[in-house]
């Protein structure tokens, strides 16, 4: 977490709103917050903690926290804290609470809102959980980021259980607490085993013997099925022929009956077809004309209705317009006299102001007289305070001549520390060079096992072996050719073509001896040479590796020698840089004595300076009071002069009324006359303007309404013309279709015939009629030479049914046996899978038993926590050793509790509770910094923030210097450290800081120094 800005108002000693912009402070890396005791330094940290978590160290809910946190001179408190979290996202936490105006000690609990900055806009969050944003609970926030007063040693003195819980939360060690997970897996595994055991009980009768017996029965039944199928095939052929003949005779009889029915309906269908054709023709000619006539009639009716309504609207608008004109004429005289009335209104206003200014001038004269007495008293107090300041300043100047410069002491002290570091580096580097030389000597001994010119020797041997391999390869190729030619010559026969030249005559066939033995010998020699080459290459590679190691060590030795020369030069340069003639570079003890004397003098100066600061604060306060009183007197005089001037100006601006008629009257009486006149003027102007505006609005509206009425009358005329033309078209169509009266058309159209449906019905009838007619003809021709015997068909049908039943019975039994075998085989495979799964689960149960013992009682979490604690301890010791000049060390005992190793007492261990206050601060600071580093690494943030609110007062000057150097070095590690202290030495060393000053009237004030 990195702070960006903090706003405080009405909190503890902060009466007025104070804003802290942390940018310059955090950019510096190390900054401080300084001020006297009770000035409000620690309140800054409490404000941050309370804004984020709603918790403070000093107060809880039972302490009436809201009331006690609020400044007693304030009626509300406000805290606003902007910060970056570990994901570099900008957030804001805002809290406020208010005092009950009727009951002073009743302060309502704070309301809180969290925001996130997205695209430079503050978006409210649905929650106010700081732990979710920062990744730390309030307890661990106090231990790793902001450490309040009295809590600095808390982590050091925590018990093993509390410390483990803290490490578990900060580093997410709960991921190693797998006890519940293992228990769940164990329960699940046992449940699955129980289910498997239950399932396997249903497979006890499933085995290979049962399956084999069923397969034998199936083979026997399949043979019976084949015989039944052959018998059924013979009977089926004869039966199907008779069945087909019977179907044809029955079909012919049905078709004849259907044809007779359709022949009786034909006359009725012909009449229906004629009526449908007539309706279709009439509807296509007259329906559009009738629809248009109805449409035009409806439009005329609608337009006539609109015309009546519009006529009524026009009459109403004309009446309204005439009424407005009458009102304007009545109000016109009063409106014309309005200008003079407004001038009189303005004069009354000026007279009213003159009366008020006169009363105010009288009050100012009384206040000026009282203020002059206060100025005289304050000037006397200020002179006395200044005399005390001058006396204390003389004493300070005398002590400053005896004090050594703090920068000089710091620089000389740093020089001695640097000198020790150089000496230590020189010893370490000498040891490194000795080790490098030893390694090189060892490698040189390894190389003695090889000849002096081993590179050339390897090259000569390699060339000899490669020449031998080449010679043997050539012989091998020659022998392979001979072997192939021998094969070809043995396969040549007179009259058969040669596979090489194609000739069928072979007068002189060459004879070859057997070369297989020679081939084998040559191949063995080549393999032997290859193996020698491989071995030679291995030796050469080993030699190269040894040489490469030697070169590496020689290069490292060269670098280390250059380094030690550089260190020696640094030591000499460092000695040359000792320019302080008042000290001896070889006598650090003398320097320490002078430094301690100077520090004592500095403490005396600091004590006197504190008295001077108090006197100056008192003087500044008196001066401020004096300036305040003088400024107030000047303001009174200026105000009095301005009001006199305004009175004269107002009297000169009167135009109608005379001041002499009103100077004896009361301001309330004049104000009453003024208000009545102003109200009358406003009403007159407002009423006249409203009437004029209404006249302007109604006039165009009336014209528009008259235009609409005229258009409606024109549209009705056009529609009547169109309906007349439509009637002429209907008469013409009646004449063309030989109708005398329109009622004939209406009678035809009233039938509402569905033309498409009837046409489909007529068409279907015609198709069915022709199909039956043709079908009867075809069947009569087909059955001309056949006859059908019902008795013979019954006998064949009976034989067919019996054969079919026998076939079904055998087939059903075969299917049943096949299904049963498939079921048994499927169940057997399932049984095998269940047995395999059972074996796996038994093995898993054994593994889970081991894991249960491993994770029981969060033992594994404690083990991981102890690893983190030891790493934390190692990191803390890096700084703790330096702060204690390698005299003390921190370690964990077998109970994971911290203890101290004391090197001044033979390295024996002792409790951390035996440390002095200063030593406890040093080890706590080292631990806190190490813990913050681990949190930073765990959160993967580039920078981290760390605040310390105690401890420096327990350190001597040298320890303060060492602690300061440690904190200053943190800047290079992207660490931001804030310090709260009243130690003056730190204030001089820290480049950027906030100073908090408590003002009796305005509360605590913050400024950057």
Helix (H, G, I), strand (E, B) or coil at 160: helix
Question: What backbone torsions phi and psi does residue 891 show, to the nearest 5 degrees?
Answer: -145, 170
User: Dihedral sign, CA of 284, 288, 291, 297?
Assistant: negative
What confidence category does residue 755 fall into, taking pLDDT thresholds of 50, 70 and 90?
confident
CA atoms within 13 Å, Cβ hemisphere of 579: 4
CATH 3.30.70.580 fits 1-134+942-1009, yes or no: no
Burial class (CB in 10 A: 0-12, 13-18, 19+), 522: buried
- For every residue of 426-474, DSSP letters joined together read HHHHHHHHHHHHHHHHHHHHHHTTS-TTHHHHHHHHHHHHHHHHHHHHH
Average pLDDT for the chain: 79
Q: Are 483 and 516 in contact (CB under 8 A)?
A: yes
pLDDT at residue 32 greater than cutoff 80: yes
User: For every residue of 355-390, which 3-state class applies, written as one string?
Assistant: HHHHHHHHHHHHHHHHHHHHHHHHHHHHHHHHHHHH
Residue 771 confidence (pLDDT): 83
Q: How many other β-carbons are positioned within 10 Å of the β-carbon of residue 352?
A: 20
pLDDT tens per residue across span 49-59: 899 988 887 77
Residue 875 confidence (pLDDT): 86
Q: Which helix H or strand E contains 1004, and what residues bound it?
A: strand 1003-1008
Q: Which helix H or strand E contains 177, and what residues bound it?
A: none
Most confident stretch, 71-85, 636-650, 981-995: 71-85
Distance CA 152, CA 127 (A): 31
Nearest residue to 465 via CA among 541, 527, 539: 527
Least confident of 17-26, 118-127, 447-456, 913-922: 447-456
pLDDT at residue 241 greater than cutoff 90: no
Residue 19 confidence (pLDDT): 93
The tokens of 813 are what?
A: 């039994």
Distance CA 784, CA 397 (A): 154
Helix (H, G, I), strand (E, B) or coil at 996: strand
pLDDT at residue 512 greater than cutoff 70: no
pLDDT tens per residue across span 256-269: 788 788 778 777 77
pLDDT at residue 68 greater than cutoff 90: no
Per cent of the chain over pLDDT 70 is 91
Residue 115 confidence (pLDDT): 94
Mean pLDDT of 818-842: 83
Burial 319-330 (b: 16+ CB within 10 A, else e): eebeebeeeeee
- For every residue of 73-109, DSSP letters joined together read T-SEEEEEEEEE-TT--EEEEEEEEEB-TT-TT-BPP
| Strand 975-981 with 30-35, pairing | parallel
Residue 494 confidence (pLDDT): 65
pTM of this structure: 0.38
Residue 140 confidence (pLDDT): 74
Mean pLDDT of 773-786: 76
Per cent of the chain over pLDDT 90 is 5
Higher pLDDT, 998 or 382: 998
For 949, residues 6+ apart whose C-beta sits below 8 A from its C-beta are 41, 42, 45, 146, 147, 148, 149, 152, 980
pLDDT tens per residue across span 285-338: 777 777 877 788 888 888 888 888 888 888 888 888 888 888 878 877 777 777
Q: Tell me the domain boundaries of the chain.
A: 1-134+942-1009, 183-205+792-855, 421-482+518-576
Residue 18 confidence (pLDDT): 93
Q: Are 977 and 1007 in contact (CB under 8 A)?
A: no
């Amino acid at each position: 977490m990195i702070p960006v800005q903090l706003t405080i108002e009405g909190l503890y000693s902060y009466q007025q709103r104070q804003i802290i912009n942390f940018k310059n402070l955090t950019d510096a890396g190390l900054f401080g917050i300084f001020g006297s005791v009770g000035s409000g330094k620690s309140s800054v940290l409490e404000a941050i903690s309370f804004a984020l978590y709603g918790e403070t160290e000093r107060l809880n809910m039972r302490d009436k926290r809201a009331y006690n946190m609020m400044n007693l001179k304030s009626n509300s408190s406000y805290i606003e804290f902007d910060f970056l979290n570990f994901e570099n996202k900008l957030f804001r936490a805002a809290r406020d609470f208010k005092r009950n105006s009727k009951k002073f000690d009743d302060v309502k609990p704070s309301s809180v809102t969290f925001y996130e900055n997205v695209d430079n806009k503050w978006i409210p969050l649905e929650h106010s959980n700081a732990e979710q944003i920062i990744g730390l609970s309030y307890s661990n926030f106090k231990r790793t980021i902001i450490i309040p007063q009295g809590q600095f040693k808390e982590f050091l003195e925590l018990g093993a259980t509390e410390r483990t819980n803290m490490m578990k939360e900060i580093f997410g060690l709960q991921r190693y607490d797998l006890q519940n997970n293992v228990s769940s897996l164990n329960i699940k595994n046992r449940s699955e085993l129980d289910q498997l055991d239950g399932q396997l009980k249903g497979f006890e009768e499933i085995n290979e013997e049962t399956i084999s017996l069923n397969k034998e029965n199936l083979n026997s039944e399949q043979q019976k099925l084949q015989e039944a199928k052959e018998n059924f095939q013979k009977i089926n052929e004869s039966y199907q022929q008779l069945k087909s003949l019977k179907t044809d005779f029955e079909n012919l009889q049905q078709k004849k009956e259907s044809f007779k029915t359709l022949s009786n309906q034909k006359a009725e269908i012909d009449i229906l077809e004629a009526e449908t054709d007539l309706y279709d023709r009439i509807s296509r000619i007259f329906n559009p004309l009738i629809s248009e006539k109805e449409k035009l009639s409806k439009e005329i009716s609608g337009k006539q209705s609109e015309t009546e309504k519009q006529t009524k609207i026009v009459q109403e608008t004309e009446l309204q317009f005439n009424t407005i004109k009458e009102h304007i004429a009545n109000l016109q005289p009063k409106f014309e006299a309005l200008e003079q009335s407004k001038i009189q209104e303005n004069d009354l206003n000026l007279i009213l102001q003159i009366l008020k200014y006169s009363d105010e001038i009288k009050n100012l004269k009384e206040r000026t007289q009282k203020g002059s007495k206060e100025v005289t008293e304050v000037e006397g107090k200020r002179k006395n305070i200044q005399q005390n300041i001058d006396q204390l300043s003389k004493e300070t100047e005398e002590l400053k001549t005896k004090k050594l410069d703090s920068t000089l002491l710091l620089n000389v002290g740093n020089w001695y520390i640097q000198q020790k570091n150089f000496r230590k580096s020189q010893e370490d580097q000498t040891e490194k060079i000795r080790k490098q030389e030893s390694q090189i000597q060892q490698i040189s001994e390894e190389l003695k096992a090889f000849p002096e010119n081993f590179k050339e020797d390897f090259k000569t041997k390699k060339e000899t072996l490669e020449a031998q391999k080449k010679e043997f390869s050539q012989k091998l190729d020659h022998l392979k050719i001979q072997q192939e030619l021998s094969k070809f010559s043995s396969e040549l026969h007179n009259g058969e073509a040669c596979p090489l030249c194609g000739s069928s005559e072979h007068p002189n066939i060459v004879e070859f001896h057997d070369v297989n033995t020679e081939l084998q010998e040559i191949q063995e020699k080549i393999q032997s040479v290859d193996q020698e080459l491989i071995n030679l290459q291995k030796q050469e590679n080993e030699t190269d590796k040894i040489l490469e190691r030697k070169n590496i060590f020689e290069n490292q030795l060269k670098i280390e020698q250059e380094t030690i020369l550089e260190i020696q030069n640094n030591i000499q340069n460092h000695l040359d840089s000792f320019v302080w003639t008042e000290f001896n570079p070889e006598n650090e003890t003398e320097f320490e004595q002078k430094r301690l004397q100077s520090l004592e003098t500095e403490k005396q100066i600091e004590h006197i300076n504190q008295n001077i600061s108090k006197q100056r604060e008192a003087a500044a306060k008196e001066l401020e009071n004096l300036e305040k009183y003088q400024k107030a007197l000047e303001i009174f005089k200026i105000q009095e002069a301005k009001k006199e001037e305004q009175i004269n100006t107002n009297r000169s601006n009167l135009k109608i009324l005379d001041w002499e008629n009103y100077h004896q009257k009361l301001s309330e009486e004049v104000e009453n006359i003024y208000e009545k006149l102003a109200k009358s003027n406003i009403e007159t102007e407002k009423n006249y303007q409203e009437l004029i505006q209404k006249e302007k609005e109604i006039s165009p509206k009336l014209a528009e309404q008259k235009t609409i009425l005229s258009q409606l009358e024109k549209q009705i005329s056009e529609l009547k013309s169109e309906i007349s033309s439509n009637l002429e078209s209907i008469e013409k169509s009646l004449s063309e279709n030989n109708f005398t009266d329109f009622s004939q058309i209406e009678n035809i159209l009233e039938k509402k015939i569905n033309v498409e449906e009837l046409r489909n019905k007529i068409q279907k009838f015609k198709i069915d009629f022709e199909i039956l007619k043709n079908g009867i003809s075809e069947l009569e021709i087909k059955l001309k030479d056949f006859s059908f015997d019902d008795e013979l068909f019954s006998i064949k049908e009976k034989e067919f049914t019996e054969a079919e039943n026998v076939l079904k019975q055998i087939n059903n039994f075969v299917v049943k046996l096949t299904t049963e075998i498939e079921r048994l085989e499927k169940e057997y495979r399932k049984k095998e899978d269940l047995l395999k799964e059972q074996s796996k689960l038994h093995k898993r149960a054994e593994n889970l038993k081991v894991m249960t013992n491993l994770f029981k009682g969060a033992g594994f979490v404690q083990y991981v926590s102890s690893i983190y604690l030891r790493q934390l301890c190692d990191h803390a010791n890096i700084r703790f050793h330096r702060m204690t000049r390698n005299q003390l060390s921190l370690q964990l005992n077998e109970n994971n509790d911290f203890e101290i190793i004391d090197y001044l007492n033979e390295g024996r261990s002792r409790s951390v509770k035996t440390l002095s206050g200063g030593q406890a601060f040093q080890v706590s600071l080292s631990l806190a910094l190490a813990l913050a580093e681990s949190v930073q690494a765990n959160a993967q943030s580039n920078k981290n923030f760390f605040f310390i609110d105690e401890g420096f007062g327990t350190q001597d000057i040298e320890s303060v210097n060492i602690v300061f150097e440690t904190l200053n070095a943190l800047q290079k590690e992207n660490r931001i450290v804030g310090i709260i202290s009243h130690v003056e030495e730190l204030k001089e060393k820290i480049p950027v800081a906030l100073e908090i000053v408590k003002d009796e009237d305005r509360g605590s004030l913050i400024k950057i120094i």
